[in-house]
Every structure is written in C-alpha cells, then in structure tokens.
Structure 1
C-alpha cells in the first residue's frame, strides 16, 4: 500500500505538478545536465534513459521509487532536488491523512455519544457501540465482553456477525479473556497467534480494546474479520475511543441499576453535564465560523467578530444553594437557565458558557438585542420570584454587565481534544463590568461602547454613572445604568428624578460636593432602594472634607478585579 502511494506521488510530481516540473526543467536547462526517471515497474516518467551513461537507485527512506539515469556526475543535483520535492509532497499527503483521521474520530465520537446517551442498560449501549464500530471499521465479527467479578467469569452482552460457536469460544478462552481484561491494553493480534488458536479458526484478523473507566476495567471489545486484512493503528485508536465512551456509559448505567441513590444522583448530574458538553456547541458559534455543522470544524478555525458580551450573575448564589441537596441545586440552576436561555436566543444572542451561578452570552448583531434581552430577563425573573414566593423560597436577584468590542472565535486544543474558544479583552472587561454592577448597586450596567453600538438607544432609559479606571487598564471606561430592568416602583422613581440625578452628577464632577450631596440625599430619601444615589451621596460627603487635586476628573479607580 505504501509502495503504491509512493509511486503515485512520484508520478504526480513528474507529470502533473506544474511547479515541480518547472523547477526540474529549469535546473536541467541551466545546468546543461540531462536525466531520466523510471519507476519500479519500468515505466519511464521523465526523459529518455537511452544513451545515459550512469544509473542509480531512486530511494526515499526505505522506499524504492525506481531508477535515476544521468550522463554527467553533476546531474545528481537533480536527483537530490527530485527527492526533496517528493519529500514535501509526501509530508503534505501524510498531514492530509492525519486531518481526515481527526475528522473521522470527531464525527464518530459525536454520533456515538448522541446515541448511547439515550440508553440506560449495558446491553443496549454495547449493541449500539458494535453497530457504530461496524460503520467505520471493516469487520465481520464482534464481541462485547464484560467481566463478572462475583462469578469470576467473562460473559458476552452483545454480538456482531454470525458465529454458532460463539459461546464455546467464550467458555474455552475464559481464562485468557480475563487476563486480557485485567491487563487493560489495546492490541492488534499478530496473525501467527490467531492461526495457532483453534478457537479463532473462523477469523484471520483480530484486534481488541478494554472497557476502562476510572482505574478499573469492566471488560473488552473484540473485533475480527474472516479474511486477512490489515488493521491500522488509527483503527485501533478508534476502537479504543469507542470502548472508553461505552465504558463510561455502562458505568453510569450500572450505578443507576444498582439503585445507589446518592451515588446515582451525583453520577447522573455529572453524566448529563458531560453529555451536554460533548454534544452541544452553540450552533450560532459554528455558523459564526462559516460552518453548517460541528463535524465541519477543524483545529485552528477562527474568525474575528464585533460582538457584545453579556455576563449574567445570580446574586448571593452561595446562600441560596448551601441549604440545597446537590440534585435540588442542579434543578435550581437548570430551572433558571431554562427561563433565561430562550430570552437570549429570542433577541439574537447565544449562551457561550454556563458558569454555575450565571452564564456568558454573545450578541453578534450589536448591543440593542443584548440590552433587550437583559431587560426581559429581569422581567422574567420577577415572575419567577412570584412563583418562588408561593413556595416560601428565597427570591433570586440577577446582575448584568456588558461590553462591546472585537474578539476572536475559534477552535482550539490539540488533535485529541477540541474546544470552542473566544479570545479577547472584551470578555474580561464585560466580566468586570458585571462585577461592578454589585459595587454600584445596579441591575444592568453597560459601557459607552455598548451605547455607541446600539441602533436605537432612545428605546431605553439610562443614568450616567461616571468613569471608572479598571485595574490593569490604561483608559477609563464610561459607565451607564439601564433602569428599565428595575422593579416598576424603583424604575418610576429613577425616571421621575432623572433630571435631578443628572444635575447632581454634574455638580459632583464640577467638585461642588456639598451641593451634590444635598441633591443625592433628596433623591435617595424618596426611595432608599436607589443604590447608585446612595453611593454618590457617600462619595460626595467624603470628598467634602478631602483636598482635591486640580486635575481631578471624578474617575473612580478600582483596586480589585
């Protein structure tokens, strides 16, 4: 197979690759040296060997490509050039094979995970695994074997292909199969070992892989073919991957069937999260890369986009969750995400990452949709809290921070582990803006960049909260509070006092702190839930007694991240 591929590559370089032909022709012409190339089958691929005084083997590593004919010693430079061109083309083909192998592995893992996630018993998982293996690995027979420790024996829970003596094989080879399972390694069985084992007389090619989970082996998957074919290392790797995924699913199924409630609940939650992380990458992310489906993405795919990043945080998450069991805690988070996720998607965004006590969402069509979603989430949260109140449960509060800017979306990792990733300072800034929403006491906090990125900012009501100098940043950032996400009473208060608040802020930045304090106090007295008014009241009162530098601009410096 390698020999045939090498000859095809040599023929391609000398006959069809215009760049290579041009290089060889120019060197031959300028040096005045003629040469001829003949493959191992005697076919002349270049020139005419007649009249050539010398000939030498044309070899690449251990592969014989043919003969190189030449008239003068200096023509050997052309032989070296030809081998260099061959090497580059050979390496390019090998890289192509590796990429194809990676694609097959990702496609298989994704499809198998999707199917076995629906199964809750070992037999169904095993049958699906064998069926999937038969689609990507050439085989006529297959066995899914499990080791029963209590009875110290190996049993078959799924089969592929017809073999009337299957049980006789398992019974007669039980000790050998137990040893292989305990060893926990994958292997392609040498042909001589197959031929010397009467129990394998119906097969000529065999390989196997362990069903490993954590630090133990549950069994093994054995595949075979009745003809003498050649299993490759790549196919053994695929079988190993199938076995590992099947083992994980079977382990979860065993825990479920044993009825170990506490262990099952933890494993089920982990399994669900694991399954989702394997099967789910936001389709919007894939589309942003210019792909139609996840199986089309490759390591290194990337694109730069202008986006709005939104961070959503459940306030006091620890106090809410500390009295819940792991299962109830998971159900709470899931219930929250189920309410908020559709709102994000409805307004043109997608959730890039769940963070346990919140999530990060991206909006690729401007910040108008991001702010719409933020306001709607606060409204949905109030309805959710009404339901929780009927059940005597603690109300949930959510803070939102957002920033607009450029970022890189791409596929990172290595050949065996891919992940959807975003790289940008915009993400870091958005996360810190969300953190500042706690400091300022706002439900929705955004930057000047977000306002500039909106098509119709007049649809919302804002209060300017001044500039902030984030730790590690060179330029201060202008912050705005969107009051449309507040509860109705607080929203009405802020709207009716909007001009007074803006005037108070103007006095504050003009260093007229006493008058600013009076104004902020008047606003705060009308509604003591107005936390930004309280914050600037305290700042003004503090600055009255301070000596202010002439270049003071009112920029709030944050010493924490």
Structure 2
C-alpha cells in the first residue's frame, strides 16, 4: 500500500478514532507527560509544538510519515503506543485490501462464468477469457493455445496485444509448447529464461497455466508483460483457475456442438424445444398424483386439485428470433427459461409445459405465489434488459395471464405412450386471460377469482379493468391489472393515478362517457405508455355518440381468442 494510505491511517488514529484518542489521552495523564505529532505535510494531528524540545521521526517501511515532538523520556512510551496503534490500523487496512482483491477475483470469475456460458465455440470462449483475465491480472500480451494431437499442431485460438510474430513464435517453439501442454502444469517463467529466449524479447514477465479437463490437458494460456511487474503465486493460482474454467467451457461447447443436430430454420428449433419439453413430466406433477417417482405412475391415474394457472408469453418473440441464428435462438429461449423457472419454483409453482415462446405454470397453493412469481419475473427481466442493452440486444418483455379454479391432473394416452395431462376450463380461461393482456396492454392480468384467492392482497397494487366476455364463454369475467410488474416510471405513474383511474372507470360504467373520456385522457397524457388508459379513452370516445341499451354493463365481448 502507498505512503498516502499510511498517512491516512495515521490521521484516522489521531483525529477520528475516539477509542485510540481516549487511550492516548489516558496514557499521557498517567505518565504525566504529553506529545505533539506533526505529519509529513506540516499539519499538526495531535497537541501543539509549544514546550517540546525533542523530536523523533515517525517512519513506516523506510518512509517518513511525520515527526513526534516530546520533552521527557516518559513520552517514549507514548511513541511506542502510537506505533502499535498505527501497526494495528495498518494491518486492518491491509487485510481489507486483500479481502477487496479476493472479492474482485471472485467477481471476475463469476462474470467470466456468465460470459462464457453463452458461448458455444472455442474462439469466443478464448477471446472472452483473455479479455477478462487482463482486467484483473496486469498484462500486455496473451496467447490462448490448443494442441491438436492428430495434426501435431499448436493452434493459436486467441491473442491479446500487438505481436505480428506470434504465429512464427508458435511454430518455432512448437516442441517446447507441446511439452508444456503435455505436462499440464502452471508456472511463472524466471526472468533469466525470458531474457535468453529471442522469441520473448518483447516481454519481461511471463507465466502460463494449462487448459485441463479431468486427466486430459489440451492447451495452455500464456500471459506476459512488457515490463517487470513481478507476477505472484496468487496471480498464478488465479490464472490457473481461469484456465480450468475456460477448459471446462470449451469441453462443454465441444460436446454441445458434437451432439446438436443441424436444424433447417428457426421454426424447427422452436418445435424441437417444444417436442423435447413434452417428453419430461415435472416432479411436482408426479407428487400431486400422490406418487414418489415416475415409475409409480400408471395410465388413468388422476386427482382433482384447486390451482392457479399462469400463462407467460414472450412479447415480440418473432422480432427477437428473426435476428438470431437457430442455435442462438435455442440459447436465447433456454437462457430465458433458466431465468424464469427458478422464480416459479421459489414461489411454490412448477412449469407444466414449455411453449417455445413462453410456458404454462401451475401453483397448487393458491394465487399469492403465482402473483408474486409474476411480479418477480418482470423485475428479473428489467434487470436482464439492462445487461442486454449494454450488448446492444433487443429487450425482452413478457405478458402474464392467470386464473384460479379446479382442474383434473392425470396420466392419459395409451399403453405405448403416456403423457401428463390437465383437463379443466381453468386452463383455457388462463390462456385467454394471457391473450387479453395483449389487448389491454398490461404486464400482468388476473381474474376476480385470483384476486379473492390472495392471502395477502395488500402486497400488490391493482386497477379494475371491468368485465370481458371471451369468445366461446357464456359468462363475463372481472379483470384486474396488477401494476407491480411494470417498469418503474410506468408503475409510479399508475400508483399516483390509482384513484383517478378508479373514478374514470366508475364514470365509464355509469355511462358518463364524456367525463370518463376526459379523465382517461388526463391519465394517458401524463404517461402515453399507459395502454389501459388509452384503451378506455378510445372506448369511451366511441360510446359517446352511440345509443346505449338500458341494461348495458360495460362488458366487452371478444370476437377472437
């Protein structure tokens, strides 16, 4: 640590640390003497120079930090005490710096894991590895090498730093590099060996680590610096960790590429996801049937349950997928499901079926968990979209619809092909509600049954959107918008206009369409992203000039699903 850091530590003891100041004061009183401390810049940190005839330099690691002024021999005890207090504070700051460095290393390794998890080729993994390693290990040059035993070639997969002769270096040093790769060890190259090697004349510091999986080493990472920076054992250990992590990622990418069949277009990739998902039965479904494992399930097993069904749909999925290759499309959907699945499970639900551009989830413990999961999914995507924006990727938005009610869960099919099935109007209605969320422009849409089923409704904020009669349904459904899943600015807007929106809905349902239109317009003008306000503004404006029947109750009849 620097001199300035040591000076700040000393100033903290003498100026701000009440316990240290009290101790020095009490010690001064007991010794019947005092002292003055003047730092290297001339600032008095303790006492006054008046009356003191002797001085001692206060040094740390051969660096002057200040002057200790005193008069009697007793004051030397105070000098020793100050030294001990400073040493304690210095060690504390040193440990803090080490902890901070360790945190940076852990954070870098975590970030590296996140970045390379999205890569499926060795070149991309190698490039990311060198870039991330250079963020925490001081380096000007780096090579990512892989050995191909079939061709007996050492291949440069990625490099860092300008060195037009790197390929020539690899060819000249092939035998040495092959031996080092085969040995699979990490090392800091001694300075005298670097100086003797003409191929390394542009470097003064070098170390390397193997790319190893299980008992097989297939490459190495070499990093170096143009200056004598003095790599440490800790840095070598960190490089080894990074290399092993990259090796595992490359091995996984190789296995993935080897096992992944070629697909013709995006639709085939999505269909494959859907087809594969149908082969798996959620363990929660099996447990709901009263079975411990899938081998205990038989054709015809069934149970009736009270559940909340949630449909989640990726908005604008076609637009997003058009800009992706089939493989990237697969990875995108898989990444989305990996983020949403844990949230569903954490809130007491399970995903019954993946639908390519969304999924259907069941919550057997009521709608509280279903709504909590829906809000959390939106918030997770808002955070995820910030990361996507940095990578210049389109944002991901979802629409959620839910319904509570009874359904039959069971095993259907025939003796050769079994399938987990749910049979209920509740599922059909939940799917319709999700479709209606597009119509209303809401992030989360739920029915009256879901709202009544909540165990803690005060946890959420709602807006009543009236009644809708979906196509094919005999009875209208009361709908509510949960605004807690909206973006922060839109949510704040809706919260501040909750009463105004309720008043506008009351006017609308009381057939006072002119006043309703004026009120909805006021809400919409304050934030044009408020789609429900826009929808009811248009409906109210249209109804002003229409003849309304006496039994009109504001029910909107849908002509499409």
Normalising by the smaller structure, the TM-score range is 0.5 to 0.7
Task: Return closer, same or farther for 1:411/1:260 CA change in 2, 3 Å cut-off.
Answer: closer
Task: Return closer, same or farther for 1:517/1:408 CA change in 2, 3 Å cut-off.
Answer: same
Tell me, what secondary structure is at the counterpart of 1:382?
A: helix
Confirm whether residue 390 of structure 1 aligns to residue 390 of structure 2: yes
Tell me, what secondary structure is at the counterpart of 1:310?
A: strand
CA contact (8 A) 2:266 2:329 kept: no
CA contact (8 A) 1:312 1:400 kept: yes
Task: Return closer, same or farther for 1:479/1:368 CA change in 2, 3 Å cut-off.
Answer: same
Tell me, what secondary structure is at the counterpart of 2:406?
A: strand
CA contact (8 A) 2:266 2:321 kept: no
Tell me, what secondary structure is at the counterpart of 1:411?
A: strand
Distance 1:328 1:505 in 2: 45
* Superimposed CA distance per residue, residues 145-198 of structure 1 (whole angstroms, 9 cap, x where no aligned partner): xxxxxxxxxxxxxxxxxxxxxxxxxxxxxxxxxxxxxxxxxxxxxxxxxxxxxx
Structure 1, unaligned stretches of length 5 or more? 1-252
Cα offset, 1:323, TM superposition: 2.2
Confirm whether residue 406 of structure 1 aligns to residue 406 of structure 2: yes
Distance 1:266 1:375 in 2: 30
Which residue of the partner structure matches residue 288 of structure 2? 288
Which residue of the partner structure matches residue 338 of structure 1? 338
Cα offset, 1:391, TM superposition: 0.9
| Runs of 4+ deviating beyond 3 Å | 253-278
Cα offset, 1:383, TM superposition: 0.9
Which residue of the partner structure matches residue 314 of structure 2? 314
Q: 5 Å matches for 1:213-362? A: 277-278=278-279, 280-362=280-362
* Superimposed CA distance per residue, residues 411-435 of structure 1 (whole angstroms, 9 cap, x where no aligned partner): 0000000000000011010001000
Task: Return closer, same or farther for 1:267/1:256 CA change in 2, 3 Å cut-off.
Answer: farther
Which residue of the partner structure matches residue 442 of structure 1? 442
* Aligned pairs, number: 308
Task: Return closer, same or farther for 1:267/1:376 CA change in 2, 3 Å cut-off.
Answer: closer
Q: 5 Å matches for 1:49-448? A: 277-278=278-279, 280-448=280-448
Task: Return closer, same or farther for 1:259/1:371 CA change in 2, 3 Å cut-off.
Answer: closer
TM value normalised by structure 2: 0.52
Q: 5 Å matches for 1:465-544? A: 465-544=465-544
Tell me, what secondary structure is at the counterpart of 1:351?
A: strand
Tell me, what secondary structure is at the counterpart of 1:281?
A: coil
Distance 1:266 1:519 in 2: 45
Cα offset, 1:261, TM superposition: 6.3
Tell me, what secondary structure is at the counterpart of 1:398?
A: strand
CA contact (8 A) 1:255 1:264 kept: no
TM value normalised by structure 1: 0.52
CA contact (8 A) 1:282 1:350 kept: yes
Distance 2:453 2:256 in 1: 51
Which residue of the partner structure matches residue 23 of structure 2? none
Cα offset, 1:489, TM superposition: 0.8
CA contact (8 A) 2:263 2:269 kept: no
CA contact (8 A) 1:255 1:263 kept: no
* Superimposed CA distance per residue, residues 212-250 of structure 1 (whole angstroms, 9 cap, x where no aligned partner): xxxxxxxxxxxxxxxxxxxxxxxxxxxxxxxxxxxxxxx
Task: Return closer, same or farther for 1:539/1:347 CA change in 2, 3 Å cut-off.
Answer: same
CA contact (8 A) 2:312 2:400 kept: yes
Tell me, what secondary structure is at the counterpart of 2:479?
A: strand
Which residue of the partner structure matches residue 453 of structure 1? 453
Distance 1:467 1:265 in 2: 38
Structure 2, unaligned stretches of length 5 or more? 1-253
* Superimposed CA distance per residue, residues 2-61 of structure 1 (whole angstroms, 9 cap, x where no aligned partner): xxxxxxxxxxxxxxxxxxxxxxxxxxxxxxxxxxxxxxxxxxxxxxxxxxxxxxxxxxxx
Tell me, what secondary structure is at the counterpart of 1:511?
A: coil
Task: Return closer, same or farther for 1:361/1:475 CA change in 2, 3 Å cut-off.
Answer: same
Distance 1:378 1:407 in 2: 27
Distance 1:348 1:425 in 2: 22
Tell me, what secondary structure is at the counterpart of 1:422?
A: strand
CA contact (8 A) 2:277 2:354 kept: no
CA contact (8 A) 1:256 1:264 kept: no
Distance 2:469 2:259 in 1: 57
CA contact (8 A) 1:266 1:327 kept: no
Tell me, what secondary structure is at the counterpart of 2:387?
A: helix
Tell me, what secondary structure is at the counterpart of 2:506?
A: helix
Distance 1:399 1:264 in 2: 26
CA contact (8 A) 1:385 1:396 kept: yes
Cα offset, 1:256, TM superposition: 7.1
Cα offset, 1:265, TM superposition: 12
Tell me, what secondary structure is at the counterpart of 2:299?
A: coil
Distance 1:426 1:260 in 2: 38
